[in-house]
Amino acid sequence: MLVSLALTALVLLIGYFLAEALLRVPIARIPVKWVIEHYGSNRAMIVAGIVLFPFAFFLASARLARDLRMLGEGLNRIADGRFGQQAAVKGKDELSAVADGMNRLSAEWDRYLEGITLGLDEIAKGQFDYQIPEGPGKLGEVALSINRMSGQLKRSIEEERRAEKTKNDLITGVSHDLRTPLTSILGFLEVIENDRYQDETEMRYYVNIAYEKSLALRKLIDDLFEYTRINNGMPLDLRELDIVGLIRQLAEEFVPSLEQAGMECRVNAPEGDFKMLADGGLLVRVYENLISNAIQYGHAGKYIDIDFLAEGEEIVVRLQNYGDPIPERDLPFIFDRFYRVERSRSKETGGTGLGLAITKSIVEVHGGSITARSSRKATFFETRYPALRSAGGGEGGDRTLRPAFTSP
């Protein structure tokens, strides 16, 4: 505005002196003299100023208009997603400062988006460990979300691969364990079918072996069915359960087996409330397996101790026997399906290799955990469950729970 006023004043001043010069020229003197005589020099100067000012303002603001146009073009490029291009506004005024800030913002967004694009390319190639740098602002939140997505995708793929390996291992183990007794059954039946026995006593001997192998085969199939049913999600009849009372009753039912083995089961429960929300029928299977194993492999120790503890919001049930220890090399794998400690002994006793795997699955679908420790002094199986909270306790019903773990 000031420049426009100055230009207008300058032109008027030049015009004033030019008018005096024109009065001396015969041709130009008549129109100049007529304007001065009819309107006066002041009015003529005012009219000339009004006419000249818009032209002066246009000339003075040409650079400003150009800078604003370039800023507008730069903002349109940013709006279209074309970062990295600079708006060439030079100078030290406010528009130049705005342009510099816009150029820095555009360059920073371009650099950051280039990093995100590079990270997405790496993730698309399967490099799920690649982490995009997380900066401030919304773009940083985008990078954080992509990194989380990449981590979750990696975990999902690993779980899928583990599930596939688990399925293949299960098929291999089932095929092997079904084929062994089935081969024996077919062999003895073939001997009987072809009359390759000496007398009826030998035939009955072969029939008895085939029958025992058939029972072992049925037990293996039943255990396998129960294992897959638990791990694939099964309806649980969850009720308020006093686990101390359940195990005391179960120990009473094992008295004949304990007496036959020359053993005694001691249940040690302190005063207190040991109630939990559980499916009693499944928990019976857990402690039937553990007590049966303790009788089978711990009879040399004469005693089975079952201790109960309350630790925080957990109920701890610790079952221990004092027989031969589990070898240290086998201890990490005893809950794996089809894994047998001392395979020859397990075959003699008819184990399927699924008992402890079923036990672990049942405990974990109840939100608990099971661990094992063994030494020359004793072998411990410790199970932990969430204690029943007083609020809402006692309500039962059918629910379908899935184990929150990936089975081995």
Convert the pLDDT of each residue in 121-146 to its tens digit.
888 888 878 888 777 777 778 888 88
Q: Average per-residue pLDDT in the chain?
A: 76
Q: What are the pLDDT digits (tens) for 4-26?
A: 777 777 776 776 666 666 666 66
- Yes or no: say if 130 and 122 are a contact pair by the CB < 8 Å rule: yes
Q: 360 or 53: which carries more pLDDT confidence? A: 360
Q: For 204-218, what is each residue's pLDDT tens digit? A: 888 888 888 888 788
Q: Give the Cβ contact number of residue 41 at 10 Å.
A: 12
Look up the pTM and report it.
Answer: 0.51
Q: What would you report as the CA-atom Rg of the chain, rounded to the nearest whole angstrom?
A: 46
Choice between 379 and 343, residue whose per-residue pLDDT is larger: 379
- Label residue 355 exposed, middle or buried (CB < 10 Å: 0-12, 13-18, 19+): buried
> Residue 153 has what pLDDT?
86
Token digits of residue 333: 């794998």
Which residue, 56, 70, 77, is CA-closest to 2? 56
Helix (H, G, I), strand (E, B) or coil at 306: strand
Give the CATH number of domain 235-401.
3.30.565.10
- The residues near 363 (Cβ < 8 Å, ≥ 6 apart) are 286, 369, 370, 383, 385
> Residues with Cβ < 8 Å from 279, sequence gap 6 or more?
236, 237, 238, 239, 366
Q: Check residue 287 and give its pLDDT.
A: 92
Q: What percent of the chain has pLDDT over 90?
A: 14
Average pLDDT rounded to a whole number, residues 345-359 = 62
Residue 336 is predicted with a pLDDT of: 76
Q: How confident is the model at residue 246 (pLDDT cuts 50, 70, 90)?
A: very high
CA distance 79 to 336: 59
Residue 404, pLDDT above cutoff 50: no
Task: For 27-42, write each residue's pLDDT tens digit.
Answer: 666 666 666 666 666 6
How much of the chain, in percent, has pLDDT values that exceed 70? Answer: 67
- Backbone angles phi and psi of 380, in degrees to 5: -110, 135
Most confident segment among 46-50, 329-333, 352-356, 367-371: 367-371
More confident residue, 403 or 93: 93
